[in-house]
């Protein structure tokens, strides 16, 4: 639950109301993030919730491009201070600078003020520190699954190319008898494996983009015991990286079959004609 003032929507320009209306400051009204409303019971527009010493009325719902702000409930900061007996204190304050170049000057102005005891950090750095454990868990699970799938893809490529070499042993032997050297055969088999890897990578990239780009979800951050919403972004860089991995797996999977095809005994293969 976050206390705001009338300037908050100017600071968070990406936030916009999608249902209901904006809260009236000086009252016990709240607006809730879309992810919070999706994951918690009783946060629909028109419902009442109990928090602190107050009862709050939900009058609107907002979205924020899938950012962590969508897991929050916004209310009048002064009312929130009174509900939790915080006096005139603030736990955190978000400021929007005119440009990134003024961050150093702004930080020095606050940290050198003897009347204040504050820590100034960019919002991205702040949330990264708040979600180190969650990020490590997601990456560990993701890399483990990707590694297992990659190993399976390599073995699949090996079996596919071994089958291709076995069914075309006579054609390969004929080419060798016509004067094609081992390097030519090796390159042709590897080229075919790379093409198959590129096709698989393109299909996988298209499926990932269509299925997950912009998909929003949320999970519990066990480091802060709060709900965190995030959206998947399948960027061109990730698509390119996935294609490189697909080509690498195709190359590894086609290497042994290509060596076998290059070493195929010509007389034994030609006797199968």
Q: How high is the pLDDT of residue 223?
A: 59
Residue 12 predicted with pLDDT over 90? no
| Among 34, 73, 35, 31, CA closest to 51 | 73
Number of folded domains that form the chain = 3
144 and 264 part of one domain: yes
Count Cβ atoms within 10 A of the Cβ of residue 52 and give its class: 0-12 exposed, 13-18 middle, 19 or more buried.
Answer: middle
- The two tokens of residue 213 are 């780009």
24 and 149 part of one domain: no
68 and 149 part of one domain: no
69 and 118 part of one domain: no
Q: How high is the pLDDT of residue 182?
A: 80
Q: How far is CA 87 from CA 67, 81, 267, in A?
A: 29, 6, 93
Q: What is the pTM of this model?
A: 0.60
Q: How far is CA 124 from CA 120, 129, 130, in A?
A: 12, 9, 10
150 and 251 part of one domain: yes
User: What is the extent of the structural domain holding 104?
Assistant: 97-130
- The two tokens of residue 64 are 């924020």
| Among 56, 80, 71, CA closest to 3 | 80
CA 101 to chain centre: 28
166 and 104 part of one domain: no
Residue 189 predicted with pLDDT over 80? yes
CA 103 to chain centre: 27
* Stated length of the chain: 273
Q: How high is the pLDDT of residue 255?
A: 84
In the chain, % of residues over pLDDT 90: 16
Q: How high is the pLDDT of residue 270?
A: 60
Q: How high is the pLDDT of residue 229?
A: 66
166 and 244 part of one domain: yes
Q: What is the mean pLDDT of residues 158-175?
A: 79
109 and 85 part of one domain: no
pLDDT classification of 135: cutoffs 50, 70, 90: confident
Q: What is the mean pLDDT of residues 267-271?
A: 62
Residue 60 predicted with pLDDT over 90? yes
Per-position DSSP letters for 80-146, written without gaps between them:
HHHHTT-TT--S------S-GGGHHHHHHHHHT-TT-------HHHHHHHHTHHHHHHHHHHHHHHH
In angstroms, the CA 92 to CA 221 distance is 19
Residue 39 predicted with pLDDT over 70? yes
> What digits encode the pLDDT tens for the residues 61-112?
998 887 778 888 999 998 888 888 888 888 888 888 888 889 999 999 999 9
Q: Which long-range contacts (CB under 8 A, 24 or more apart) does 7-11 make?
A: 8/74, 8/94, 10/96, 11/94, 11/95, 11/96
Q: How high is the pLDDT of residue 222?
A: 64
237 and 179 part of one domain: yes
Between the ranges 37-41, 108-112, 229-233, where is the mean pLDDT highest? Answer: 108-112
User: What contacts 93, CB < 8 A, 6 or more positions away?
Assistant: none
75 and 181 part of one domain: no
Question: Which of 44, 78, 96 finishes a domain?
Answer: 96
């Amino acid at each position: 639950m976050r206390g705001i003032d009338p300037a908050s929507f100017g600071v968070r320009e990406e936030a916009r109301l999608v249902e209901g209306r904006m809260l009236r400051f000086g009252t016990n009204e709240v607006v809730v993030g879309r992810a919070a409303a999706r994951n918690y019971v009783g946060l629909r527009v028109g419902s009442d919730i109990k928090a602190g010493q107050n009862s709050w009325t939900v009058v609107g719902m907002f979205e924020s491009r899938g950012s962590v702000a969508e897991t929050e409930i916004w209310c009048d900061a002064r009312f929130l201070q009174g509900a939790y007996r915080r006096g005139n204190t603030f736990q955190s304050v978000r400021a929007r600078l005119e440009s990134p170049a003024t961050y150093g000057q702004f930080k020095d102005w606050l940290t050198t003020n003897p009347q204040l005891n504050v820590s100034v950090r960019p919002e991205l750095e702040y949330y990264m520190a708040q979600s180190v454990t969650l990020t490590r868990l997601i990456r560990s699970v993701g890399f483990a699954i990707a590694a297992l799938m990659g190993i399976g893809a390599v073995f699949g490529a090996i079996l596919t190319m071994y089958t291709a070499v076995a069914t075309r042993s006579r054609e390969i032997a004929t080419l060798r008898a016509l004067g094609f050297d081992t390097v030519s055969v090796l390159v042709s088999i590897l080229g075919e494996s790379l093409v198959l890897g590129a096709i698989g990578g393109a299909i996988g990239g298209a499926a990932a983009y269509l299925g997950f780009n912009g998909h929003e979800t949320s999970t519990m951050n066990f480091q802060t015991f709060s709900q965190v919403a995030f959206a998947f972004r399948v960027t061109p860089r990730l698509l390119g990286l996935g294609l490189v991995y697909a080509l690498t797996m195709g190359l590894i999977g086609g290497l042994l079959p290509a060596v076998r095809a290059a070493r195929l005994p010509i007389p034994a293969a030609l006797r199968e004609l």
